[in-house]
A and B are shown apart, each in its own frame.
Chain A
Amino acid sequence: MAENKVLVVGGGFSGLTAAVEAAETGAEVILVEKNPYLGGRVTQLNKYFWKMCPPNCGLEIQYKRIKNNGKVTIYTLAQVEKISGSEGNFEVTIKTTPRFVNDKCTACNKCAEVCPVERSNDFDFGMSKTKAAYLAHSQAFPAQYVIDGKVCKGSSCGACVKACPYGAIDLGMKAETITVKVGAVVTATGWNPYDATKMDNLGFGRVQNVVTNMMMERLAAPNGPTQGKIVRPSDGKEVKNIAFVQCAGSRDENHLPFCSYICCLASLKQATYVREQYGDSKVKVFYIDIRTPGLYENRFYAKLQQDANVSFLKGKVAKIEQGENGDVKVTAEDIHGGGKVTESFDMVVLATGMEPTAKSLSGAGIKATWDGFVDQAALPKGVYAAGTVKAPVDVARTAQDATAAVMKSIQSLRRN
């Protein structure tokens, strides 16, 4: 008899959905997430499609379903190291990094108040800082602090241990290796933003005020480094003249050979952030083709085209240089007959694409295609993939895909 248990690798929107959907069929679920919180990339967004609501609107429902169901065991700060065995009877090795904070934490912030060490906040892509004892973000689930072992001074400091009124801090916590048995596996490890420094002609990391689309989400988010005020990183100037550079690395065989699917709509969405915040702002989108497949997506694009302060230029940006006073100079060829144009902007957003994560799953016996997604034809029996580890998709489609993958995993459990 097979274990009536499903392993879900990755706790982003796809993995989260897979976990609750599987649990609600009565299966036990082990959910493994490498971050100290669930929700993945969606938690970093300001708003997301299609309701243009903040991330908590969708995520809170999922968290509540998990809590009410009780069949999901969550491992945060954890990664799957190895999967052995076969369909119906997998043995999974999970490795955890210590959180140094236990379940008694009430997120009162006392530890962070006394913590003497600062760290760059990766949740905000380095645009803000936290203490070594920190809450990953305001909506973090589990709502539990975490101590960054890489920078924490350990027991020689111990200020947080003394400050915590609940005895929630344990600086002696060690990394653990856990072994579990499951019947089926759903991998949903998602994507990472493509490293924009690799496109040497686009100036990221070299030219001030060139940011990525994910950084733009943080700049616009109320819980972001600027409390949602869209200002440029170098001098805090209000961003009233902004350019979006589409296909920054995507559809490019030197970088990501595929279309990342979400970036066009993401830039159009971010254009509305700027337009709504500053009435006199101007937005320019440089593109090869605007790809907004689907009824809703096309309507969104058409609506934005009605805005006289939003313009579109056909021609890929292939050169970005530092202008005066922190401005950014962007060069493209206006394909509709305008010749080579160089324009200056307050800030430039690179619509960077999705770097898939399938290559990180080799320990689990999962093969990646040449472009880095899960090779679905080569998946072992009883192992399924969902969401952006399979192909670039948006949040809604990732949820649908997760539900479909769970269906397959349940069928697998029943078979064996």
Chain B
Amino acid sequence: MSDATVIKPDLQFVSEIIKGGGESLKKCYQCATCSVVCNVTPEGNPFPRKEMVLAQWGQKDKLITSPDVWLCHQCSDCTAYCPRGAKPGEVLNAIRKQSIKEVAMIPLFAKIATDPKLIWLLFAIPMALFYIVLTVLGNTNIDVVRAKSSHMAYHNFMPVPAIDVIFILTAAFAATSAFVGIKRLWAGMQANAGTAQGSGSPFGHILPAVTTILAHKKFADCNVSRLRQWGHLLLFYAFAGLAIVTTWAIVYLYGHEFLGIKAFGPFNFGEAPYPMTDPMKMLALASSVAFAIGFTIILLNRLGNAGKAGMGSYFDWIFLLIVIGVGATGMLSWGLRLADVTMGYWVYYFHLVFVWSLFAYAPYSKFAHLFYRTTAMVFAKYTGRDKK
């Protein structure tokens, strides 16, 4: 028995996977159909069959910082072909949720972002935050706010500097959280990689990984959820577009205020609102349309594939809720402003709540896949794991 391997199952981990959307885990009988139909996995030591047995046996350490868990794009081809309804796609998603909690800088925040029982707290934090700011500014009576200028303008309600301070701090918090999470994930992946360590600098692999992501190449290998490639692509670029718009708006405002740049050509340096002829506004509108279409595709794909791919869990739906919340309140508050409906101020308040939730919980919610999947893809390239 000198070479005996003692396996210590982490039963708590097993039960967390089962509770977190992987309730079908124990149905797996290790036939390996999943690894074969998966077009995203590397050929050597493929996933997700081995993840299924590791999860059944509670091998938390081998899974929680495994690059393979993150290389999975949840195409759900595995789930569709699974002969036992074990839904490997859903199980790996549940493992990713545990992975996010494990590497989180502030575990309590991860709990708030992923525990359905704490959904009230998730939204109560930003609602209280913005309400306090409004109270301090004396802007809680929207009729008074409306009377401040001839046109309805949201900066009368929540001034730009206040927004900037809050969101710069929030972004700094999210960035720090993501940085800590990425470092922990990386260290864990290295510890698990055994002899398959990379050599040289990993930074050279970032650009190829990002290029793959920008082109959505991996999604193209999915069969069951083929439509999702376009949905995710549109949503991805909508987010990118809206991020550019936000930066652009800051340039307009502070460029005018501090550097004295005046409006020229179509570029309206100065305060909002900006006319529809402004390229920034056009980008904002294009991104919004892409957002709406992308989100619809993702939603229809998920509902349409529910029979084959599973319905997803709270972890997925709360993320989708926040995303649609951002989009819906954003577009609605824009429309209400144009229509001069005072209630628009409160819609805008909820818009801020959703946007804050999206940012602040980013490294703790499903949104964290942006950081961790990218990290795993870089690691895979670094260690030669992604070679077919």
Contact = CB atoms under 8 A, between A and B. Distances in A.
Nearest to A319: B36
A339 B46 contact: yes
A376 B32 CA distance: 34
A353 to B, nearest CB: 12
B35 A333 contact: yes
Contact of B37 (A252, A288, A318, A335): A318
B43 A340 contact: yes
Interface residues of A, number: 20
A316 B37 contact: no
B36 A332 contact: yes
A251 interface: yes
A197 interface: no
A201 interface: yes
Contacts of A332: 32, 36
Interface in B44-69: 44-46, 49
Interface string B18-39: 0000000000011111111100
A333 B46 contact: yes
A252 B41 CA distance: 23
A340 B30 CA distance: 14
Interface SS majority for chain B: loop
B83 A251 contact: yes
B81 interface: yes
A342 to B, nearest CB: 9
Contacts of B29: 251, 288
Given A339-B43, A339-B46, A340-B44, A331 B84 contact: no
Contacts of B31: 247, 251, 288, 315-316
A235 interface: no
Given A335-B49, A340-B43, A340-B44, A315 B85 contact: no
A318 B32 contact: yes
Nearest to A257: B83
Nearest to A256: B83
A324 interface: no
Contact of B32 (A201, A251, A333): A333
Contacts of A288: 29-31
B36 A318 contact: yes
Contacts of A251: 29, 31, 83
A316 B35 CA distance: 10
Interface in B71-121: 81, 83-85
A230 interface: no
Contacts, number: 57
Interface in A245-286: 247, 251-255
Nearest to A288: B31
A147 interface: no
Contacts of A210: none
Contacts of B46: 333, 339-340
Contacts of B37: 201, 318-319
A335 B53 CA distance: 11
A201 B82 CA distance: 12
Interface in B3-30: 29-30
A160 to B, nearest CB: 49
Nearest to B30: A335
A284 to B, nearest CB: 15
Interface in B284-334: none
A317 interface: yes
Nearest to A246: B31
A328 to B, nearest CB: 15
A251 B34 CA distance: 15
A253 B28 CA distance: 12
B85 to A, nearest CB: 6
Given A333-B49, A339-B46, A254 B81 contact: yes
Given A247-B31, A288-B31, A333-B36, A339 B45 contact: yes
A201 B81 contact: yes
Nearest to A199: B81
Contact of A253 (B30, B36, B41, B84): B84
Nearest to B37: A318
B68 to A, nearest CB: 13
B143 to A, nearest CB: 61
A335 B45 CA distance: 9
A318 B30 contact: no
A288 B35 CA distance: 13
A317 B36 CA distance: 8
A254 B43 CA distance: 26
Contacts of B85: 253
**4 nearest interchain CB pairs?**
A252-B83, A318-B36, A333-B32, A333-B35
11 contacts: A201-B37, A247-B31, A255-B83, A316-B36, A318-B37, A318-B81, A333-B36, A333-B46, A333-B49, A337-B45, A340-B46
Interface of A: 201, 247, 251-255, 288, 315-319, 331-333, 335, 337, 339-340
